[in-house]
């Protein structure tokens, strides 16, 4: 049935038509079983998302209880539900600094997409409507919507059959010490990367660049741990030029690196926005979010009557937000 009916994410048509897909039937902790009873160690944690492990009864019970009590309630405009409000407050308490505001989404791609819109919205509210170009890095993965895939740039993801947003998005060299130019030390490589960003700002204009998107550790681009001090120096450059620093922590948050969030605890960076998904629900149900600063909220809310016309039916889904 799968081979006859399903188009999978990232399908290779030839291999799929020949071989079909591996059917997983059951999961417990970090172990999976297929329909023939063969057991596998789930080293990737689903897709970097099953942070607390599979098969937990407390999760199943919380999900069932919430599905029975209130399976859905929309959070558009002036409606809300209790689990999503409580989760927002919890995320605000856990997130670094003044990241006290939460925009819920359906996953990581829609979080990145929303963050990109918020860059433009915020800069416009600050009287800088032309400051909406985005900067990201080669080998980054930020999702699969039109905009998030245009921000990302993993080799192989870009195929001729699709179109991507080309204007207004700039890509810098991936901070991969293993691929640094021959003869340079890691510290010199870091200097080159920062200088490349400085040169881009000089060329494009600080009045045009609104946001910088970065996975603290580039995950599916190769688990790229940047050189010492790189992320902090890129953040300092952003601050100097009023460029919003958007940390894509879809993979790195919720314990993957031993902290709730990696940006500040691991890299000494206080982002303006953090995109999360995956470990947020440990993959039990879909959910994502942009956690953003009071400063951004205040700018966007100033003048009172503006509309933020962006969001998704399942934003703040009560089953996904429900605590265990």
Ligand X SMILES: Cc1ncc(COP(=O)(O)O)c(C=O)c1O
Kindly list the residues in this chain that would bind ligand X in the complex (CB under 6 A).
47, 107-109, 112, 141-143, 215, 219-220, 248, 250-251, 277, 288
The span from the CA of 26 to the CA of 54, in Å, is 9
Shortest distance, position 240 Cβ to ligand X, whole Å = 26
Shortest distance, position 274 Cβ to ligand X, whole Å = 11
**H or E element at residue 172:** strand 169-172
Contact between 193 and 230 under an 8 Å Cβ cutoff? The reply is yes
Shortest distance, position 262 Cβ to ligand X, whole Å = 11
Contact between 60 and 68 under an 8 Å Cβ cutoff? The reply is no
Query: Which residue of the chain is nearest ligand X when measured via CB?
Result: 108
Shortest distance, position 39 Cβ to ligand X, whole Å = 25
The span from the CA of 29 to the CA of 45, in Å, is 9
Contact between 290 and 317 under an 8 Å Cβ cutoff? The reply is no
Closer residue to ligand X in complex, CB, 101/142 = 142
Closer residue to ligand X in complex, CB, 107/318 = 107
Question: Residue with structure tokens 């960076």?
Answer: 269
Q: Is residue 268 exposed (0-12), middle (13-18) or buried (19+ Cβ within 10 Å)?
A: exposed
Shortest distance, position 197 Cβ to ligand X, whole Å = 20
Shortest distance, position 302 Cβ to ligand X, whole Å = 30
Shortest distance, position 284 Cβ to ligand X, whole Å = 14
Closer residue to ligand X in complex, CB, 115/201 = 115
The span from the CA of 53 to the CA of 284, in Å, is 9
**Residue 29, both tokens:** 């902790």
Q: Rounded to whole angstroms, what are the CA distances from 231 to 207, 219, 228?
A: 22, 15, 8
The span from the CA of 105 to the CA of 55, in Å, is 25
The residues near 37 (Cβ < 8 Å, ≥ 6 apart) are: none
From first CA to last CA, the distance across the chain in angstroms is 35
244-248 β-sheet, strand order: 101-105, 288-292, 273-276, 244-248, 209-214, 133-137, 169-172
Closer residue to ligand X in complex, CB, 106/131 = 106
């Amino acid at each position: 049935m799968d081979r006859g009916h399903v188009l999978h994410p990232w399908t290779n048509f030839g291999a799929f038509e020949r071989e079909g897909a591996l059917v997983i039937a059951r999961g417990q902790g970090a172990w999976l079983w297929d329909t023939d009873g063969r057991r596998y160690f789930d080293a990737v944690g689903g897709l970097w998302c099953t942070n607390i492990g599979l098969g937990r009864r407390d999760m199943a019970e919380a999900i069932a209880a919430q599905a029975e009590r209130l399976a859905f309630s929309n959070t558009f405009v002036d409606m809300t539900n209790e689990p999503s409000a409580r989760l927002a407050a919890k995320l605000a308490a856990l997130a670094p600094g003044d990241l006290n505001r939460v925009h819920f989404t359906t996953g990581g791609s829609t979080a990145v997409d929303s963050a990109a819109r918020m860059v433009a919205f915020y800069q416009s509210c600050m009287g800088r409507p032309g400051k909406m170009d985005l900067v990201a890095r080669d080998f980054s993965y930020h999702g699969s919507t039109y905009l998030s895939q245009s921000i990302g740039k993993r080799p192989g993801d870009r195929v001729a059959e699709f179109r991507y947003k080309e204007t207004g998005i700039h890509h810098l060299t991936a901070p991969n010490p293993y691929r640094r130019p021959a003869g340079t030390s890691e510290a010199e490589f870091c200097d080159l990367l920062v200088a490349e960003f400085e040169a881009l700002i000089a060329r494009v204009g600080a009045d045009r660049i609104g946001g910088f998107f970065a996975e603290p550790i580039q995950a599916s681009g190769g688990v790229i741990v940047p050189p010492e001090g790189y992320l902090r120096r890129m953040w300092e450059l952003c601050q100097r030029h009023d460029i919003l620093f958007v940390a894509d922590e879809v993979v790195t948050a919720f314990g993957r690196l031993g902290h709730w969030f990696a940006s500040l605890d691991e890299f000494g960076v206080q982002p303006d926005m953090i995109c999360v998904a995956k470990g947020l629900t440990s993959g039990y149900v879909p959910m994502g979010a942009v956690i953003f600063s009071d400063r951004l909220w205040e700018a966007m809310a100033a003048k009172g009557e503006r509309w933020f016309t962006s969001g998704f039916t399942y934003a703040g889904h009560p089953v996904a937000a429900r605590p265990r």
